[in-house]
């Protein structure tokens, strides 16, 4: 597998919308994803294996704050470094745009994601009660802080 990360384009939206349906009980629609292409605060990236979308990540950067909206990887690409590459790109983008931190929500039952985020230096900063549906579950708020020079804290 030869993985390339690129900013999302209209040509990727069908695959990303399909991925949303596979991964999430409340998926983003094609139209919602398309609207983010013209949102100046949105930074969405796809991981491509050739011309095939392996996964994607979406983040929003407002002032010095960065929030991950979604990260998803097609089942056949899981445990092959795709999510690691996407989180790495999100952290780099946050630093590049001057964010003080990057934050995301994750199900406490998602041990693979928790392990990945912890490896990148994210720590638990809060809880959103009953955040997820189908099944109902709380969300852990995990955040990675950057220092004043916008270097990643280790």
Choice among 18, 105, 137, 152 that is catalytic: 105
Q: What three-state secondary structure class fits 144?
A: strand
- In angstroms, rounded to a whole number, what is the distance separating the alpha carbons of residues 65 and 41? 10
Buried b (16+ CB within 10 A) or exposed e, 122-150: beeeeeeeeebeeeebebbbbbbebeeee
**Alpha-helical regions (H) of 59-104:** 82-96
Contact 141, 105 (CB under 8 A): yes
Choice among 56, 77, 117, 132 that is catalytic: 117
137 labelled catalytic: no
Q: What three-state secondary structure class fits 154?
A: coil
117 labelled catalytic: yes
Counting Cβ atoms within 10 Å, is residue 75 exposed (0-12), middle (13-18) or buried (19+)? exposed
- In angstroms, rounded to a whole number, what is the distance separating the alpha carbons of residues 123 and 153? 12
Active site residues: 105, 117
């Amino acid at each position: 597998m030869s993985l390339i990360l690129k900013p999302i384009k209209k040509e990727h939206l069908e695959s990303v919308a399909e991925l949303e349906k596979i991964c999430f009980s409340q998926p983003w629609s094609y139209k919602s994803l398309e609207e983010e292409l013209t949102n100046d605060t949105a930074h969405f990236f796809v991981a491509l294996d050739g011309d095939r979308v392996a996964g994607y990540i979406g983040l929003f950067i407002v002032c010095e704050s960065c929030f991950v909206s979604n990260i998803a990887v097609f089942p056949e690409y899981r445990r092959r470094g795709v999510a690691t590459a996407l989180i790495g790109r999100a952290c780099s983008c946050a630093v590049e745009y001057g964010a003080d931190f990057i934050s995301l929500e994750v199900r406490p039952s998602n041990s693979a994601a928790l392990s990945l985020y912890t490896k990148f230096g994210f720590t638990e900063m809060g809880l959103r009660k009953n955040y997820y549906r189908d099944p109902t579950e709380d969300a852990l708020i995990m955040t990675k802080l950057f220092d004043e020079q916008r270097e990643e804290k280790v």
